[in-house]
Amino acid sequence: MVSRLLQPQEIVAELMELLAIPSPTGRADRAADYCAERLQELGLEVRRTVRGAVLARVQGRSDSAPRVLTAHIDTLGAMVQEIMPDGRLRLSPVGGLLAPSCEGAYVTVLTRGAPITGTILPECASKHVFGPKYEEQKRTWAEMRLRLDLPVFCPDDVLASGVRVGDFVAVDPRAEHTPAGFVKSRFLDDKAAAAALLAAAREIVQGEQPQRTTYLHFSVYEEIGQGVPAGLPPEVEEVVSIDMAAVGAGQNSREDLVTICAKDSGGPYDWSVRQRLGALADLTGIAWTEDIYPYYSSDATGAVRCGRDVRIGLFGPGVDASHTHERTHAQALLGTAQLALAYLREDG
Ligand SMILES: [Zn+2]
């Protein structure tokens, strides 16, 4: 049974809060603090792993074969690679941020002092100066520049402002909730799933004690493939990632559905986990589908790659235009929270 307390507008509101916290991989500490505080407010036992992930224990009646539900709160981002002679900055992507998708993006440089805003532009950004070069130049990181919103015209000016090589750059998500129920924003991968997992956590602590102990895990290094394995309790036998489903031509996934992943670049997910997740979705009345993602890997797969002997699964909300200009729908957020809750309450 789905509780009346799981409401799409509450999940969207939580998602907006999470999206407003810059958290490029390597600087996800504030987003982790946010999740840890929300879980502590629920009375859950919460700890931080050495590397900064958040781990909360939902105590079941049985401690045998505990499971992990994990979502990642780190996002794509960049770092200052080089201060150019004209005071603009060349960037190095963190976690596969795509340069063409960042043309015109507003960003914040996370300096050791106050954050400083700016815009990512092609090197030849002015049509009135460069004419046809504007269309002709490539949009790779070698040609893109960060223009700081400061009067800086040379490297000394930039250094005096406090910006250094190696500073993290967070891209503004531009999050909007549209009247038709869509949420469009960067970094719905994977804050959409993290918001759904927090909603399921709020719900599970209200009801009867679940049968099985499950850890809720918020990972902070997923986008560079180092998310889940470190810090997992040794007795865990199953790891289920909640992460975005890939929407696009040739895919089954849709922005308003929950997808259970059958296979991604890491190979097939555990058949028994897939069957159980599908049965739970049917029982709960969740609109869901199954799919295969051609260019994708999850934290659950990462656990197996690191030698953990665990069953793995993956489900999550459909996200269009992933790693660029993402969009999902409130129905998929609700379905994802419902399936996470059903998993937490599972008797088997
Ligand atoms: Zn992801």
Report in angstroms the alpha-carbon separations of 212 from 58, 62, 305, 345: 8, 5, 25, 8
Which residues are close to ligand 1, an ion, with C-beta < 5 A?
189-190, 243
Would you place residue 347 in the very low, low, confident or very high pLDDT band (cuts 50, 70, 90)? confident
Identify the three-state secondary structure at position 180.
coil
Cα of 242 from ligand 1 centre, angstroms: 8
Contacts of 226 (CB under 8 A, 6+ apart): 302
Check if the beta carbon of residue 240 is closer than 8 Å to that of residue 315.
Answer: yes
Would you place residue 4 in the very low, low, confident or very high pLDDT band (cuts 50, 70, 90)? low
If you average pLDDT over every residue of the chain, what do you get?
95
Cα of 192 from ligand 1 centre, angstroms: 10
Cα of 75 from ligand 1 centre, angstroms: 8
Query: Which of 178, 205, 300 is CA-nearest to residue 243?
Result: 300
Selected catalytic residue, list 10, 41, 203, 222: 222
Query: Which of 48, 64, 53, 65 is CA-nearest to residue 299?
Result: 53
Cα of 247 from ligand 1 centre, angstroms: 13
Query: What percentage of the chain reaches a pLDDT higher than 90?
Result: 94
Which DSSP symbol is given to 132? Answer: T
Cα angle at 146 between 150 and 138, to 5 degrees?
A: 150
Cα of 189 from ligand 1 centre, angstroms: 5
Q: What average pLDDT does the segment 58-84 reach? A: 96
Looking at the DSSP bridge assignments, the partners of residue 97 are none
Identify the three-state secondary structure at position 147.
strand
Active-site residue, 222 included: yes
Report in angstroms the alpha-carbon separations of 80 from 88, 106, 132, 165, 312: 10, 15, 28, 5, 36
Instruction: Give the predicted TM-score (pTM) of the model.
Output: 0.96
Q: Kindly tell me if the per-residue pLDDT of 2 is higher than 50.
A: no
Digit-coded pLDDT (tens) for 233-259? 999 999 999 999 999 999 999 999 999
Would you place residue 226 in the very low, low, confident or very high pLDDT band (cuts 50, 70, 90)? confident
Tokens representing residue 275 in the block: 């069957």
Q: Is the dihedral of CA 325, 328, 333, 336 positive or negative?
A: negative
Q: How far is the first Cα of the chain from the last one, in angstroms, to the nearest whole number?
A: 16
Residue written as tokens 């600087």? 27
DSSP string, 79-104: EEEEE-TTS-EEEEEESS--TGGGTT
Write down the pLDDT at residue 70.
96
Angstrom distance (rounded) from CA 341 to CA 283: 12
Cα of 301 from ligand 1 centre, angstroms: 12
Angstrom distance (rounded) from CA 222 to CA 299: 6
Q: Kindly tell me if the per-residue pLDDT of 84 is higher than 70.
A: yes
Cα of 72 from ligand 1 centre, angstroms: 7
Digit-coded pLDDT (tens) for 143-175? 999 999 999 999 999 999 999 999 999 999 999
Cα of 313 from ligand 1 centre, angstroms: 14
